[in-house]
Amino acid sequence: MKRLVVILALAVLLGLGAYVISYGIARHTFCQMPDVSDSSSWLRQEFHLSDVQYAQVQKLEANYHPHCVEMCTQIMQSRSVLKNLILANGSMTPEIEVALQKDGVVQEQWRADMLRHFYEVSQAMPPEEGKRYLQIMQAQVIQPDMTSGEMATPH
């Protein structure tokens, strides 16, 4: 009985030890996690960027971010105006038509700017990885209502 208890305890202890050590090694080697505080750290992991390439991408992201925030504000304002007009009128009016046109222009500008940024980022990557990046990101331009979870990731 004593021998059985000792062997089972040893098996459990060594099994747990193996789990903890293997998990630690995996997380520090082939399963290294991207930095949660840095939104562009995903690019580094996913597209295997070198330090120089990553620095260049970070610079591009930093330059693009204020413009992205500005576009976000414009879209929200345009949507808000359109929504208020739709709810305030019972049928199509010239004001709604103008608001729809303005919303279309804002959307077009945003898509063009975003695509320009995607091209710039892809050019900072190795050619094959740049192509893969564009394959993933093009969905944001073509199907803007799709979020990342719904996109297919070609691998």
Partner 1 sequence: MSPEHDQQLKTLLREWQPETDLPPRFESEVWHRIALNEEKRSSWLNFDWLFQVTCQPRLAFAIVAIAVVLGTGLANWEAVRSYHHEMANSKSRYIHSVDPFANTLLTSNQ
Closest to partner 1 by CB, 15 vs 94, is 15
Q: What proportions of the chain, in percent to the nearest 5, are helix, strand and coil?
A: 75, 0, 25
Tokens, residue 133? 């990046």
Minimum distance between the CB of residue 39 and partner 1, rounded to whole angstroms? 4
User: What does DSSP assign to residue 90?
Assistant: S
Closest to partner 1 by CB, 45 vs 93, is 45
Q: Which bin fits 126, alpha (ψ -120 to 50), beta or left (φ > 0)?
A: beta
Strands (E) located in the chain: none
Strand, helix or coil for residue 123: helix
Closest to partner 1 by CB, 29 vs 91, is 29
Instruction: Return residues touching partner 1 (CB under 8 A).
Output: 1, 3-4, 7-8, 10-12, 14-23, 26-27, 31-34, 36, 39-43, 45-46, 61, 64-65, 68-69, 71-72, 75-76, 79, 107, 110, 114, 117-118, 137, 140, 144-145, 147-149, 153
Closest to partner 1 by CB, 35 vs 92, is 35
